Amino acid sequence: MAKHFDTQALDRYFAAMADPTRRAVLERLTQGPASVSELHAPHAMALPSFLRHLRVLEEGGLIATEKQGRVRMARIEARPVRAAEDWLAQLRRQWETRLDRLDALSEALEQTAKGDAP
Amino acid sequence: MAKHFDTQALDRYFAAMADPTRRAVLERLTQGPASVSELHAPHAMALPSFLRHLRVLEEGGLIATEKQGRVRMARIEARPVRAAEDWLAQLRRQWETRLDRLDALSEALEQTAKGDAP
DNA sequence: GAAATGCTTAGCCATGTCGCTAACTATTTG
DNA sequence: CAAATAGTTAGCGACATGGCTAAGCATTTC
């Protein structure tokens, strides 16, 4: 039942998400592709510093970029976001399944108690 | 529509997830509470190093621990996992919404093209 | 073709992360 | 109470991360 996840990929995905600048870039990119300058504009940070964030996102496969003339355009990539979401969902489901079993168990015990009562 | 997320909390959640040892601990804890030693056993790592991971998880609010005698028991916490999952889901939804609008737009353009044809 | 634009590289610094060992404290247990 | 058990604290070293400035390299644009 449990899906296999690429551990190193998850490392990179989650690490990429663990920064507000990078999350903001992803949110911006949900509205469509943008150039490096456009993405950089809202962030009070030197361009080289910002570019580093973009590279982290790209190396993590969260975005793809392509150079057109002197402009580099970036767009969001679907799969990694889904992979991270799936991992969390699976974690939650495992946990909920266990809680359900505990519920079932305590109900069963209750029944048994009634049956066994003197 | 967009929920507000606590940025620093998301930083800690995602950072905590960005490590295989910590993800393994979370997976183990979906099956029920465990002591520090039990959690440590499968990991080829000195105990102090492992304890650091547990502290990261606890400071991020992903787990809660309690000392009982000389044993410290740990259990998973629901909310942060949900928060991270929700953030990713929101991101995906925004993005899908945009793709849907693009689909709608291209359909509309197609219709217009037919109507406008000579 | 000179100048502006848009990105890129190189290199520095401060801080954070992840592993380790050694030594210590607190609680059972024999 | 002595010894084993279960964590804990302190401190070290290697490397990663996130910011900066300065300088360089293509590609428009005038």
Give the pLDDT confidence of B64-87 residue by residue, as tens digits. Answer: 999 999 999 999 987 777 877 888
Chain A residues in contact with B88 (beta carbon < 8 A): 17, 81, 84-85, 88
Pairwise CA distance, residues A28 & A33, whole Å: 9
State the pLDDT at residue A86: 84
The backbone region for A61, taken as left when phi is positive above 0, alpha when psi lies in -120 to 50, beta otherwise, is left
Contact A81 B98 (CB under 8 A): no
State the pLDDT at residue B90: 86
Pairwise CA distance, residues B23 & B79, whole Å: 16
Give residue A118's pLDDT band: very low, low, confident or very high (50, 70, 90): very low
Span A59-74, pLDDT tens digits:
999 999 999 999 999 9
A2 domain-assigned? no
Amino acid whose CA is nearest the C1' of D26: A70
Is the Cβ–Cβ distance between B26 and B56 less than 8 Å? Answer: no
Pairwise CA distance, residues B23 & A81, whole Å: 17
Q: Tell me the mean pLDDT in the region A94-101.
A: 78
Indicate which CATH number applies to the domain containing B24.
1.10.10.10
As a whole number, the mean pLDDT across chain B is 86
Contact B14 A17 (CB under 8 A): yes
Nucleotides of D under 7 A from a protein CB: 5-11, 17-22, 26-28
Name the H helices within chain B: 7-17, 20-29, 36-40, 47-59, 78-116
Span B95-105, pLDDT tens digits:
888 777 666 66
How many residues are recorded in chain A? 118
Chain A residue with CA closest to B79: the answer is A92
B2 domain-assigned? no
Amino acid whose CA is nearest the C1' of D25: A70
State the pLDDT at residue A106: 63
A1 domain-assigned? no
Query: How far are the Cα atoms of A64, A68, B102, B111, B117 from residue B22, in angstroms, in the given order?
Result: 28, 41, 39, 53, 61
> How much of chain B exceeds pLDDT 90, in percent?
53
Beta bridge partner(s), residue B73? B35, B66
Span A10-56, pLDDT tens digits:
899 899 999 999 999 999 999 999 999 999 999 999 999 999 999 99
Contact B10 A23 (CB under 8 A): yes
Separation of CA B40 and C1' D11 in angstroms? 22
The answer, yes or no, to whether residue B44 has pLDDT greater than 50, is: yes
A45 domain-assigned? yes
How far does B35 lie from chain A, in Å, by closest CA? 18
The answer, yes or no, to whether residue B58 has pLDDT greater than 70, is: yes
The answer, yes or no, to whether residue A7 has pLDDT greater than 80, is: yes
Chain B residues in contact with A81 (beta carbon < 8 A): 88, 91-92, 95
> Coil, strand or helix: which one is B1?
coil
A32 domain-assigned? yes
Pairwise CA distance, residues A97 & A50, whole Å: 42
Residue type, B34: A
Q: Which of B20, A53, A86 lies closest to A63, judged by CA? A: A53
Give the number of domains in chain A.
Answer: 1
Separation of CA A48 and C1' C9 in angstroms? 9
Burial class (CB in 10 A: 0-12, 13-18, 19+), B23: buried
B15 domain-assigned? yes
Most confident by average pLDDT, A4-8, B5-9, B17-21, B86-90: B17-21
Nucleotides of C under 7 A from a protein CB: 5-11, 17-22, 26-28
How far does A118 lie from chain B, in Å, by closest CA? 33
Q: Which domain holds residue B59?
A: 7-116
